[in-house]
Structure 1
Amino acid sequence: MTGNQGPAHKRSMTRRKVVVAGGAAVAVASVGGGVAVTAFAGEPGAGSTASATAAETCYKLTSETTEGPYYIDADKIRKDITEDKEGIPLTLALKVIDSETCKPVKNAAVDIWHCDALGIYSGYESLSAGAGGAPTDAPSGTPADVPSGSPTGEPPSGAPSGGTGGGGHEEPTDDERYLRGTWKTDRSGHVTFRTVFPGWYRGRCVHIHVKVHVDGEWTEAGYEGGHTCHTGQFFFAEAAVLASAEVAPYSANTTERTTLTEDTIYDQSGTTGGLLKLTYDRKHIARGVRGSITVGVDPDATHDGQDAPPQPSASATPSASAS
């Protein structure tokens, strides 16, 4: 997917003005024909909307995060990534803009991928944490040759520093590809996916992974060349996650859950950090959820997930590195 990577040039990183309403800074963004008002920080409401006459506010750069070990490069070119997975229907409406010029980024390839309701990633079912909180093929018993003392010398070359950092990329262990997909932004920078509300696993809050690729070409075979200008994650307000936990099949997930404020990858910056604006019926979340966000990117930069800040280790278990 990434192909040839052109050099990035230095760009102005000045923050743009935001609309101020009721003493709080909010971002006004056109999403699917409507105007959504979402706070830059804190948990968004269940779908407050308002009309506005001002032009769309230009967002600052959306936070970069680790890619995680379970990315599969542009394997499925599609908007509906649900396949046969059970869960609360989720419509994910994204808009990609250049954070410097405020212009839409059209014809970009947007990848998303996430776990199912029980914490399992397709392509890595034997490695995912799942509802039990441990890999499905984890050995039982206590090893008899546990090393003692402290390690000496330098760490092996290529070893991650500063905690898990999402671990290295893992090769797929199976042919499943549910809850993964790539699609093209339109002339307005919009792209919409149909999926299900993600579940959770040990060490991470509920999230969706995303990559944005630019300067490539769309062919009959898919998307070729270009470079990755953004690698990030989208996050969900606690109120929505708690509501989903009451609904099957999420209610069968007994794994201890990491909250939004406890997560080691979400940077607590609200919209800039990837916090979605969620719209749903508070009394009947099972009917479906709409999540939306404007993603501000630097099309000239390369952010493939390897340059993300290191995160502290959440746990020593394999599932903690499944970012």
Structure 2
Amino acid sequence: MEEAQQPAEQSKLTRRGLMMAGGATVAAMGLGAALTANASAQDAAGTASPAPGASSTGTAAPETCYTLTSELVEGPYYIDADKIRQNITEDQEGIPLLLKLKVIDAETCRPLRDAAVDIWHCSALGVYSGYQSMGNGGGGGAPTDAPTGTPTGAPPSGGPGGGGGGHQDPTDSTRYLRGTWRTDRHGYVTFRTVFPGWYRGRCVHIHVKVHVDGTWTDAGYEGGHACHTGQLFFDEKSVLASAEVAPYSTNTTTRTTLTEDTIYPQNGHAGGLLYLSYDRRHIAKGVRAQLTLGVVPDETHDGTGGPGPSATPSASAS
């Protein structure tokens, strides 16, 4: 049986143009037969709840229009003018992850078509592209020794591994595990990447932005504004399972758990907790992740106005 899964602040954004990198339009690929078991989703209270679009009996159910997805901090490692692509893996090693998001208007439940969705996250060893000189979340170079004991630890009180902090300029030209793609007429967007690792002061997560009211051109996406800035989170069981697989098993950095994290708002799927499915005996074969993001298109949330409802003022990175 599959492991049970569990599945901010406002300011203005001047939207830039996203330039097409070499005209790349890489189609997202499914994980196929590698995923032989389905996760049963749970909410933050630990009670079973249906996956998006389905009821507990397996029949179609309406969206919960009133549920907004939490607005969270952008963090210091966002790079404007990212690559327009669905496959953001490049040469990074890790457990294959197929991420499927649905973006809806939280007030009408109508899907948002042609929205630009950005995602970015660290590597299996906790390193962000564009910031490789900072190593594992600002905590030095990527670890090489096998971890000992159960990884856990409270977030630091300051430094690049914490929770808030302003934007930092990139230190290099690498752009792996970053990308932007457009939602289809049903509001769906899919990315192919790898299961993120962890770094000092943060639980395992993926950053996400949703841009609307812009224009798709041959060069990419122009104008508009960010109506949502959030983070996507992974339950503890899936993270512990990934930690048994190389290269995650070589990451000796003290890991912050989901409940210890100062950014995760502790409110289940509304806070960005992903629905996951994978074979718990062979997670290395791949993981599917999905979530519906309820946003308000007319509002602006660029994630630079504050670290989110549960972050502490002393935390400094994301």
Q: Which has the higher strand share?
A: 1
Alignment deviations for residues 148-205 of structure 1 (CA, whole Å, 9 cap, x no partner): xxxxxxxxxxxx9xxx662111111001000000000000000000000000011000
CA contact (8 A) 1:204 1:258 kept: yes
Say yes or no: does 1:213 pair with 2:220.
no
TM norm structure 2: 0.76
- Which of residues 85, 99, 108 in structure 2 aligns to 1:101? 108
Residues matched between the structures, number: 262
Secondary structure of 2:279's match? coil
When residues 53 and 114 of structure 1 are mapped into structure 2, their CA distance, relative to the original with a 3 A threshold, is closer
CA deviation after TM superposition for structure 1 residue 54, in Å:
3.3
Offset from partner CA, 1:289-323 (integer Å, 9 cap, x none)? 00100000010000000234372157xxxxx6330
Q: Distance in 2 between matches of 1:303 and 1:275?
A: 19
**Cα distance, 1:3 vs. partner?**
3.6
Match of 1:300 among 298, 301, 304: 298
Q: Residues 244-323 of structure 1 correspond to what in structure 2 (within 5 A)? A: 244-308=242-306, 309=308, 311-312=311-312, 321-323=316-318
1:70 matched to 2:77? The reply is yes
Whether the aligned pair in 1 keeps the contact of 2:166 and 2:317 (CA below 8 Å) is no
Alignment match, 1:41: 44
User: How far did 1:117 drift?
Assistant: 0.4
Partner residue, 1:156: none
What residue is the counterpart of 2:223 in the other structure?
Answer: 225
Change (3 A) 1:51 1:129: same
Shift of the 250–313 alpha-carbon distance from structure 1 to 2, 3 Å rule, reads farther
Listed as ranges, the matches of 1:49-68 within 5 Å are 51-58=58-65, 60-68=67-75
User: What secondary structure is seen at the aligned counterpart in 2 of 1:192?
Assistant: strand
Q: Which runs of 4+ in 1 moved over 4 A?
A: 42-45, 47-50
Q: Is the 8 A contact 1:209 1:233 kept in 2?
A: yes
Contact 1:3 1:224 (C-alpha < 8 Å) held by counterparts: no
Deviation at 1:128, TM superposition (A): 3.7
Q: In structure 2, what residue type is equivalent to 1:172?
A: P
Deviation at 1:56, TM superposition (A): 3.4
Q: Which runs of 5 or more structure 1 residues have no equivalent in the other structure?
A: 6-34, 138-159, 315-319
**2:99–2:289: 8 Å Cα contact kept in structure 1?**
yes
Distance 1:242 1:36, change over 3 A: closer
Distance 1:128 1:59, change over 3 A: farther
Give TM-score scaled by structure 1 length: 0.75
What is the alpha-carbon distance in structure 1 between the residues aligned to residue 39 and residue 254 of structure 2? 33
Deviations 1:208-245 (A, max 9, x none): 00000000001111111000000000000000000000
Q: Are the equivalent residues in 2 in contact too, given 1:44–1:237 (CA < 8 A)?
A: no
Cα pair 2:15 2:222 within 8 Å, conserved: no
Question: Structure 2: which 5+ runs fail to align?
Answer: 1-11, 17-37, 143-157
Q: Are the counterparts in 1 of residues 164 and 313 from structure 2 also a CA contact under 8 Å? A: no
The question of whether the paired residues in 2 share the 8 Å contact of 1:74 and 1:181 is answered with no
Q: Offset of 1:74 from its aligned partner? A: 3.4
1:43–1:237: 8 Å Cα contact kept in structure 2? Answer: no
Report deviation, 1:127: 1.8
Give a deviation string over 1:38-85, Cα, whole Å, max 9, x none: 44425698x977521433333511001110000011310000000010
2:171 to 163, 170, 173: 173
Matching of residues 145-224 of structure 1 within 5 Å: 166-224=164-222
Quote the Cα distance in structure 2 between the aligned partners of 1:44 and 1:114: 29
Q: Deviations over 1:95-122 (max 9, x none)?
A: 0000000100110000000000000000
C-alpha distance after superposition, 1:240-285 (max 9, x if no partner): 0000000000000001100000000001000000000000001000
Structure 1 residue aligned with 2:140: 135
Q: Secondary structure at the match of 1:126?
A: helix
- Residues 278/258 of structure 1: CA separation in 2 closer, same or farther (3 Å cut): same
Contact 2:88 2:176 in 1 (8 A): yes
CA distance change for structure 1 residues 87 and 70 in 2, over 3 Å: closer, same or farther?
same
1:237 & 1:53 partners in 2: Cα distance? 25
The residue number in structure 2 matching 1:11 is: none
1:123 pairs with 2:130: yes
Distance 2:39 2:257 in 1: 25
Aligned pair partner of 1:85 in 85, 89, 92? 92
